[in-house]
Structure 1
Amino acid sequence: MNKAQKTQLIMIAGGGTGGHIYPAIAIGRAIQKLNPKAQLRFVGTAAGLESKIMQRENLPLDLIQSGKLNFSGNPLQKLKTLFKIPMGIFQSAVLIRKYKPDFVLGVGGYASAPFVLTAALMGKKTAFWEPNAHPGMANRLLSRFVQKSYLVFAGSEKYLRSRDNRVFGMPLREEIELAQTEERSKISDTMTILCFGGSQGSLFLNEKISDFILQHPELHDRIHLIHQTGSLGYADMVKKYGNLSCVEVHEFIYDMPNQYRRADIQFCRGGASTIAEASAFGVVPLIVPLPAADDHQLRNAEAVVGRKAGFLFIQESFNVQEFSRVIQLLLNDVQLRKEMSQNLRTMAPQKAASAIATDILTQLS
């Protein structure tokens, strides 16, 4: 940026899960790196993980009410949402009048749509970031109101009405981007597995990986498991594993970069941010896509498998024997593990956070 940097306020709205929160933080940090005078404020809801994560990151957070913009499912939930969204829009207007942001960015999650929509209607410069190949309902509706959309996947723009669509890829935190230049530690005949079902955990993944560990005591001296269970599964997994020394159980892992450095393979969902972070570290993924109508996680997983960089398992037809076979194959075939890790690292995104930050600041210059 030029020498005459101004104090500018950028508000970033959204959250709920780490897949929205950490890209938001990555973009915010990149903005401050390019313009140290820039100020950030984040907007979320009390229902998400943003309160815990933003506090640890020492970042300012305001909360609004909102709900899932989905008109199928539980009638009571729909009724609650119909009350929450207007309240969220009112609260958004109050915050926008109070802080007078120069730019508002939505990153998905419950707070994103009402806050960005309100900002756009109040004449603020706005954009949203869309992580999926097939954008969700909220961003499809929101696209007609914002100036720009920042996309992870080429082709997503055909679903949107934004005036300007930019494909920059997945924003990663700087410490994860730097991992792309690191050498992997020497691969040995022991193996560390990282298991997590996104920031909120997955009861399905918890069950399958714990069953595997308990059914194969002969592998306990060669396998180490780092298991993020999520809040719902934590107590059950602690009890199930007992005193096994080959397992570490965490409700939530805040220091994910260091856990990636320790891991050789991971058992995970197929979210775009999960795949991008695995790619940066070369941690070979065994992916079980979250079943969903748009199947974007399945498409992410298929892209990894197509590069011979990971394995795909379908939840509805999950084969325990095949899962066990793949883990033992990777454990025993060190060369295969190394080749797949190298293939995966070729998929790592390149400085998307910096590109988005530069584009935002250019609009404000």
Structure 2
Amino acid sequence: MNKKKIIICLGSTGGHIFPGIALADAIKQSSPDYEILFINTLKSNEMLPKLNFNYKIIGINIYGFVGKNILEKIKSIFSLFICICKTLVILKKFKPEIIIGSGGFVWLPVGISSFILNKKIYTIEGNSIPGLANKIISKLSKKIFINFESSLNYFEKSKCFNLGYPIREIEKKREPKKDIDILIIGGSQGSKTLNTRFLDQIEDLLNRLTKEKIKEFTIIHQTGIEDFHRVKKIASRYEAKFDFLKYSPEIFLDNINDYYSRTRLLISRAGASTICETKNCDLINILVPIKNSTNNHQYHNALEMNEKGLAEIWQENDQNLVLTNKIFNLLSKKDKAREILSNKKNQSNDYSAKNIVKEILKDG
């Protein structure tokens, strides 16, 4: 008997890759007879060796459209037509019954090719405001899975299921030990802007901690590869000046669940994956939206979390003192910190991947 087949389409960043892996793992657990193929951008192949990725994958070379200049947009449109042709060949050869995608420009050729061949298409939207690819492919989709209630404003409501955003099983195991005071994560590739803004205010924060007679303070800082040596040099300087400080820059954090479980306060971007991975973790979030994210979606993600009392927001154009005050007050276990931790206890989307897979496979 021939195996049933599913294609999962990945974007180029961790925010698309991690959910794809979560879905594949959930499919294998519930229906081991399915064969899974990933289609992604060639760019995302660079990340996969770090993630214990054990699935078949084909990369296609597509160029983004949104936010590009006129020449780059022409190049993007040209690459889109080429990738539709390539994807049609892949689909005809692999013969999948189901196609799943979570956005990114690569989802356009995959989704369009799937529609041409009359395949069952499923779109996953993790952000409060969808990007161009999901807006288009959602119209061709059988079902749309959303993470934020506000996403309903952009899709056909009858197709939508609010089941959360898929996160890997490994992300959900938590340990009570808290030995990281601050964890900084700038996305899967790091963020030089976030790195710089945090470093701009750190001396003021450390001086305040000195006055409080803090005996030990640990910072883990995921910098990305390009900014690692600069941050490492500055961190060493502060470690020498403040004897209670342990400041450890890292290029990439392999077992992110372990870090989340040990963290008191997380400073991070406001992408869908990070928000969902930490929504019901016992830590305090300060979300720093990317200033130029598509449709300003990270700000709206952060705003919705803040309005639910699940996170604080600090924007890139806010003064350094604002961040220093937020960190110091939240770590001092003041009312706002207690409120966030209390609200998080009522959150539950641990089974998003399983529930999404169940809803997809229900269609046969």
Taking the aligned partners of 2:215 and 2:348, their CA distance within structure 1 comes to 32
Task: Report the TM-score, using the length of structure 2 for normalisation.
Answer: 0.87
Q: Secondary structure at the match of 1:200?
A: coil
2:140 aligns with one of 114, 139, 145:
145
The reply to whether residue 315 of structure 1 matches residue 316 of structure 2 is yes
Partner residue in 1 for 2:26: 30
Task: Report the TM-score, using the length of structure 1 for normalisation.
Answer: 0.87
Alpha carbons 1:42, 1:60 under 8 Å: kept? yes
Alpha carbons 1:228, 1:249 under 8 Å: kept? yes
Q: Secondary structure at the match of 2:188?
A: coil
Is there any run of 5+ residues in structure 1 with no aligned partner, and where? Answer: none
Taking the aligned partners of 2:117 and 2:162, their CA distance within structure 1 comes to 27
Taking the aligned partners of 1:120 and 1:191, their CA distance within structure 2 comes to 48
Q: CA deviation at 1:50?
A: 6.2
Cα deviation digits, residues 246-267 of structure 1 (max 9, x gap): 1121112121001111111111
Q: Secondary structure at the match of 1:143?
A: helix
1:184-203 correspondence runs (5 A) = 184-185=176-177, 192-203=181-192
Q: CA deviation at 1:86?
A: 1.4
1:153-302 correspondence runs (5 A) = 153-161=148-156, 164-179=159-174, 184-185=176-177, 192-218=181-207, 219=209, 221-242=215-236, 244=239, 246-291=246-291, 292=293, 294-302=295-303
Q: Which amino acid aligns with 2:359?
A: D
Alpha carbons 1:105, 1:126 under 8 Å: kept? yes
Q: CA deviation at 1:206?
A: 0.2
Mean alpha-carbon deviation: is it higher for 213-222 or for 136-145?
A: 213-222
Partner residue in 1 for 2:242: none
Is there any run of 5+ residues in structure 2 with no aligned partner, and where? Answer: 240-244
Cα deviation digits, residues 160-204 of structure 1 (max 9, x gap): 35872222111111122344xx6x33x6xx752110121122112
Alpha carbons 1:66, 1:88 under 8 Å: kept? yes
Taking the aligned partners of 2:2 and 2:265, their CA distance within structure 1 comes to 45
Partner residue in 2 for 1:43: 39
Alpha carbons 1:191, 1:331 under 8 Å: kept? no
Cα deviation digits, residues 96-145 of structure 1 (max 9, x gap): 11211121111112322211210121111111111122221211112222
Give the paired residue count.
352
Partner residue in 1 for 2:88: 93
Alpha carbons 2:173, 2:257 under 8 Å: kept? no
Q: Which amino acid aligns with 1:66?
A: I
Alpha carbons 1:269, 1:289 under 8 Å: kept? yes
Q: CA deviation at 1:156?
A: 2.2
Percent of aligned positions that are identical: 27
Q: Which amino acid aligns with 1:202?
A: S
Q: Which amino acid aligns with 1:303?
A: E
Partner residue in 2 for 1:21: 17
Q: Which amino acid aligns with 2:362?
A: T
RMSD (Å) for aligned C-alpha atoms: 2.6
Alpha carbons 1:16, 1:110 under 8 Å: kept? no
